[in-house]
A and B are shown apart, each in its own frame.
Chain A
Amino acid sequence: MFDTLTDRFDAIFTRLRGRGRLGDAEVVEVLREIRVALLEADVNLAVARDLIERIRARCTGAELARYLTPAQQVIKVVNEELTATLGGEALKISYASKPPTVVLLAGLQGSGKTTASAKLARWFRQQGRHPYLIGADLQRPAAVEQLRVLGAEIGVGVFSEPTDPVAVARHGLLEAERLGRDVVIVDTAGRLAIDQELMDEVRCVSATVHPNYTFFVVDAMTGQDAVRTAEAFHQALQLDGIILTKVDGDARGGAALSVKQVVGRPIAFLSTGERVADFETFHPDRLASRILGMGDVLSLIEKAEREYDGETAGQAFERLQAGTFTLDDFLDQLRQLKKMGPLTGLLSLMPGVPKEMRDAKVDDRDVGKIEAIICSMTPLERSDPTVLDGARRLRIAHGSGTSPTEVNNLLRQFREMQKMMRGVGPMAKLAGGGRPGKPSKSSKGNRKKAKGGRVTPSSRGLGPAR
């Protein structure tokens, strides 16, 4: 979703990376570029200005650390400010001591309230709660019908009646209590913030059900207007959080940044797809990293810690550098990687992966083929692929159910990878294109690592691996 903003920052910082020092002129240029990037990402003008000012103050201030390159300094500052703007921690739902916990959803027409209601209900069920849906959108034709269909799909009861929204809410709440449901989600009709009558109506609904949480549902594609709308809703309803929808598009999500900043309430959930399961809690720090092109490294590392055997990875890396990485090592790593989930998802999480590759579809069936090919080799062949003549390749192709072309492809690409990775340390490239293997550079890299582990540098070193 934030790819385009990521690309912008990438472009700016790629240019910066070649420079030794960051002078005033550069700061001005970078800030201008960042401003354009933010505005093109639909970050609200006032919010962008505020953010730029804070970044300017810190970039020209005295707090620049000597051990970072200019690009890293700026990235660090921008990252921290973005994270601050997006809000500290993820929202934690606390449940009402006397159930049910009532959640009210409001927003503009077409922002995705009805779908979000159902997704939220499903999420609550996963948390072990017993949710209940109230369809108080009597405005849009068939909105209640939509909620019923979704409710049936996720196995959550839906209440509605053709009276008026306030009555529906009141009766629905009573029904939920009667059924012993502990979470009630109220879906309301979409409305314009300037439509006084409808705003009064949703205020009445809110006063009737006394929501513990009022969420503002906003489309990630919204432009400058997001802030005005959010302010108006906040005034009327006292929002507790934001649900950002349609995040699976390529909108740059500036609306998220702005609404969060102006309303001062956290983004609670992201709606990331068309299926009811596509719904997740929001992690501001991870998102800021993503905006900066650093990938969602934290998620990746969490996964890795769970699934990956760090020791073998370290050994494999050493062999990779030394050029003694064998097909056996490769198979080992591939299998570990497989445990972490579909490879397409992994690619998009990795920092420094170029855009074309991030979007590329990795066919997970290829993994199976590769496994089969390697498994059809003898131990000798695996450790020394040079012995593979035509007859052996044909045998492997037969044995693995593939074709000799595929075997050849794998071998060629494996060889190329070996060649590229030889001597490329994770830190060697990061210090601005330093020559790999130079001791001075690597010690610089180590210092950097010790200083707080910027992820970007190591990832930048991946560039040549392509």
Chain B
Amino acid sequence: MTLVIVLVALAVVLLASGGLVAGTRRHRRSPALPTDGAAPQPFTVPPVSAAPQPETSQVLGEQPGRPVLRDRLGRARGLLTGYFDQVRGRKGIDEATFEELEEALILADVGVTTTARVLGDLRAKLSTGVLSATDPPALLQALQDDLISMFDGDVGSLGFADGDGPTVWLFVGVNGVGKTTTIGKLALREVQAGRGVVLAAADTFRAAAGEQLESWAERAGARIVRGSDGADPSSVIFDAVQHAASRGAGLVLADTAGRLHTKVNLMEELRKVRRVAERPPGQLTEVLLVLDATTGQNGVVQARQFAEAVGVTGIVLTKLDGTAKGGVVLAIRSELGLPIKLVGVGEGLADLVPFDPAEFVSALFG
């Protein structure tokens, strides 16, 4: 009620002066879009020539064996290399060196704060004589080592439950980061490892998300539990856990609808999803935040919000095979301490690999 009252007061004050503003600014207003008087014609959906779901498999499901991150990233090389080559080629280390390093890190989406902190450490090493001011390669090495050490203690493996009940891994993230695709790839990996896998299609919001997951389930040879469109996602996960328990399947991979971390009600829904996923016989061991490597500094905010809401246990960094460097995970690691568990480096079923800090950092250096 207070707000309403304040709002009225604000409006009165604003509009009393607003008339003037409008008067002086009117000429800058963009022209209104043409609004056709004609009401839109009612449409009937024309009959569409029957088209079964296309299954393109030319890029999927071939070449097993672990793809090396650096090979994949090789395609995107040369974007930051210039900066580091320049630093390496210098005779000494000066302010310009640090500026170049700063630019390189910022271009890799590491973020201003983390970059400043990392470079501050390097400066301290220089001034205390740990590093020599005439040895740029050593500076670069020290930078790499610093970055790698930020991931100390991270293991790229996912946890399984000790008891009898099925292990549950919950996947969360904003829209379009690749949750469903990640689950598809993981399902294949775990099926190949001899586990019974049930996919829970708890993205009941986005059109055809269930179909997408189903086609992954077919490819991977996993079971799938689906709800009707618009069903309560928690109920789908509940059913999937029951199903897994009764069939003796050891692992449930729970997909959820992409949601922006700013949507309070959707984050609340996710909390409930988590509560249900934890319920026995299911044992929730991982809540994985899927993050697109092209994400900028907003990734930190996303990670913080999701961690607060559902206790994220690790991050899956997808789409690292493009030109994006995914440097935001450094910021996330340093600000929130969340470990990176997996990285996605391609569209093939096998292109999801455990996170390796040394590999990641050297890729960052182009």
| B-binding residues in A (CB < 8 A) | 36, 39-42, 45, 89-90, 92, 108-112, 125-128, 130, 138-153, 155-162, 179, 192-194, 219, 221-226, 228-229, 232, 246, 248-252, 254-255, 274, 281, 283, 285, 297-298, 300-302, 304-305, 308, 310, 313-314, 316-317, 320, 330, 333-334, 337, 343, 346-347, 350-351, 353, 357, 360, 362, 366-367, 369-370, 406, 409-410, 413-414, 417, 420-421, 424, 426-427, 449, 452-453, 455, 458-459, 461-462, 465-466
Q: Which residues of B contact A89 (CB under 8 A)?
A: 30-31
Question: Is the CB–CB distance between B43 and A161 below 8 Å?
Answer: no
Question: Is the CB–CB distance between A144 and B103 below 8 Å?
Answer: no
B123 within 8 A of A: no
User: A39-B112, A179-B46 are known contacts. Are A458 and B4 too (CB-CB below 8 A)?
Assistant: no
Min Cβ gap A175→B in Å is 8
Q: Which residues of B contact A192 (CB under 8 A)?
A: 319, 321-323
Question: Is the CB–CB distance between A366 and B4 below 8 Å?
Answer: yes
Instruction: Produce 1/0 per residue, B262-288, CB < 8 A to A.
Output: 110000000000000000000000000
Kindly identify which residue among A139, A141, A145, A308 contacts B216, using a CB–CB cutoff of 8 Å: A141
Question: Is the CB–CB distance between A362 and B23 below 8 Å?
Answer: no
Task: A65 to B5: give the CA distance in the assembly, Å.
Answer: 37
Question: Is the CB–CB distance between A453 and B20 below 8 Å?
Answer: yes
Chain B residue, CB-CB nearest to A416: B5
Question: Given A330-B5, A455-B21, 15 more contacts at CB 8 Å?
Answer: A40-B297, A90-B33, A92-B34, A128-B36, A162-B53, A219-B176, A219-B294, A223-B295, A225-B323, A251-B296, A313-B12, A313-B15, A317-B16, A426-B17, A458-B13
B interface size (C-beta, 8 A): 102
Question: Is the CB–CB distance between A317 and B13 below 8 Å?
Answer: yes
Q: Which residues of A contact B79 (CB under 8 A)?
A: 228
Question: Is the CB–CB distance between B323 and A193 below 8 Å?
Answer: yes
User: A224-B107, A413-B1 are known contacts. Are A421 and B13 too (CB-CB below 8 A)?
Assistant: yes
Question: Is the CB–CB distance between B51 and A285 below 8 Å?
Answer: no
Question: Is the CB–CB distance between B294 and A145 below 8 Å?
Answer: no
B193 within 8 A of A: no
Q: Which residues of B contact A369 (CB under 8 A)?
A: 1
Task: A342 to B311: give the CA distance in the assembly, Å.
Answer: 34
Question: Is the CB–CB distance between B9 and A249 below 8 Å?
Answer: no
User: A142-B209, A283-B30 are known contacts. Are A310 and B15 too (CB-CB below 8 A)?
Assistant: yes
Question: Is the CB–CB distance between B322 and A193 below 8 Å?
Answer: yes
Q: Can you list 23 A-B pairs with a CB-CB distance of less than 8 A?
A: A92-B33, A110-B292, A111-B176, A141-B55, A141-B211, A142-B208, A222-B296, A223-B299, A246-B174, A248-B263, A249-B298, A285-B28, A300-B14, A300-B18, A314-B19, A320-B13, A346-B7, A417-B6, A421-B13, A449-B20, A459-B14, A462-B13, A465-B13
Q: Which residues of A contact B302 (CB under 8 A)?
A: 221
Question: Is the CB–CB distance between A142 and B212 below 8 Å?
Answer: yes
Chain B residue, CB-CB nearest to A335: B8
Min Cβ gap A80→B in Å is 11
Question: Is the CB–CB distance between A313 and B16 below 8 Å?
Answer: yes
Min Cβ gap B161→A in Å is 29
Question: Is the CB–CB distance between B106 and A224 below 8 Å?
Answer: yes
Task: A410 to B6: give the CA distance in the assembly, Å.
Answer: 11
Instruction: Produce 1/0 per residue, B297-320, CB < 8 A to A.
Output: 111011000000000000000010
Chain A residue, CB-CB nearest to B324: A225
B233 within 8 A of A: no
Question: Is the CB–CB distance between B45 and A350 below 8 Å?
Answer: no
Q: Which residues of B contact A41 (CB under 8 A)?
A: 297
Q: Which residues of B contact A333 (CB under 8 A)?
A: 8, 11-12
Instruction: Produce 1/0 per residue, B34-74, CB < 8 A to A.
Output: 11111111111110110111111001000000000000000
B window 212-266: CB within 8 A of A: 212, 214-216, 260-263
B90 within 8 A of A: no
Question: Is the CB–CB distance between A297 and B29 below 8 Å?
Answer: no
Question: Is the CB–CB distance between A452 and B24 below 8 Å?
Answer: yes
Question: Is the CB–CB distance between A302 and B29 below 8 Å?
Answer: yes
B window 76-113: CB within 8 A of A: 76, 79, 103, 106-109, 111-113
User: A249-B262, A453-B20, A465-B13 are known contacts. Are A254 and B296 too (CB-CB below 8 A)?
Assistant: yes
B185 within 8 A of A: no
Question: Is the CB–CB distance between A255 and B54 below 8 Å?
Answer: no
Q: Which residues of A contact B205 (CB under 8 A)?
A: 274
| A-binding residues in B (CB < 8 A) | 1-25, 28-31, 33-46, 48-49, 51-56, 59, 75-76, 79, 103, 106-109, 111-113, 174-178, 181, 205-209, 211-212, 214-216, 260-263, 292-299, 301-302, 319, 321-325, 327-328, 347
Question: Is the CB–CB distance between A45 and B106 below 8 Å?
Answer: yes
Question: Is the CB–CB distance between A350 and B14 below 8 Å?
Answer: yes
Question: Is the CB–CB distance between A159 and B48 below 8 Å?
Answer: yes
Task: A370 to B3: give the CA distance in the assembly, Å.
Answer: 12
Q: Which residues of A contact B109 (CB under 8 A)?
A: 42, 223-225
User: A162-B53, A417-B6 are known contacts. Are A142 and B294 too (CB-CB below 8 A)?
Assistant: no
Chain B residue, CB-CB nearest to A123: B33
Min Cβ gap A251→B in Å is 4
Kindly identify which residue among B9, B56, B111, B295 contacts A320, using a CB–CB cutoff of 8 Å: B9
Min Cβ gap B283→A in Å is 29
Chain B residue, CB-CB nearest to A421: B9
Question: Is the CB–CB distance between A224 and B46 below 8 Å?
Answer: no
Among B16, B31, B42, the one with the most A-chain Cβ atoms within 10 Å of its Cβ is B16
Kindly identify which residue among A130, A151, A330 contacts B41, using a CB–CB cutoff of 8 Å: A130
Min Cβ gap B154→A in Å is 22
Min Cβ gap B25→A in Å is 6
Chain A residue, CB-CB nearest to B115: A39
Among B6, B14, B38, B295, the one with the most A-chain Cβ atoms within 10 Å of its Cβ is B14
Q: Which residues of B contact A228 (CB under 8 A)?
A: 79, 323
Q: Which residues of B contact A350 (CB under 8 A)?
A: 10-11, 14
Task: A197 to B345: give the CA distance in the assembly, Å.
Answer: 17
Question: Is the CB–CB distance between A426 and B6 below 8 Å?
Answer: no
Q: Which residues of B contact A414 (CB under 8 A)?
A: 5
Q: Which residues of A contact B44 (CB under 8 A)?
A: 155
Question: Is the CB–CB distance between A370 and B48 below 8 Å?
Answer: no
Chain B residue, CB-CB nearest to A349: B14
Min Cβ gap A309→B in Å is 10
Q: Which residues of A contact B8 (CB under 8 A)?
A: 330, 333-334, 337
User: A252-B298, A413-B2 are known contacts. Are A110 and B319 too (CB-CB below 8 A)?
Assistant: yes
Question: Is the CB–CB distance between A156 and B43 below 8 Å?
Answer: yes
User: A90-B30, A350-B14 are known contacts. Are A141 and B21 too (CB-CB below 8 A)?
Assistant: no
Question: Is the CB–CB distance between A138 and B56 below 8 Å?
Answer: yes
Q: Which residues of B contact A155 (CB under 8 A)?
A: 42-45
Task: A127 to B39: give the CA distance in the assembly, Å.
Answer: 9
A-B residue pairs, 8 tightest by C-beta? A223-B296, A110-B176, A128-B36, A42-B296, A317-B16, A149-B207, A146-B208, A162-B54
Q: Which residues of A contact B34 (CB under 8 A)?
A: 92, 127
Q: Which residues of B contact A308 (CB under 8 A)?
A: 15
Question: Is the CB–CB distance between B211 and A142 below 8 Å?
Answer: yes
Chain B residue, CB-CB nearest to A446: B20
Task: A159 to B48: give the CA distance in the assembly, Å.
Answer: 6
Question: Is the CB–CB distance between A222 and B45 below 8 Å?
Answer: no
Task: A449 to B21: give the CA distance in the assembly, Å.
Answer: 8
Question: Is the CB–CB distance between A317 and B12 below 8 Å?
Answer: yes
Q: Which residues of A contact B174 (CB under 8 A)?
A: 221, 246, 249
Q: Which residues of A contact B11 (CB under 8 A)?
A: 313, 333, 337, 346, 350
Kindly identify which residue among B33, B39, B206 contacts A146, using a CB–CB cutoff of 8 Å: B206
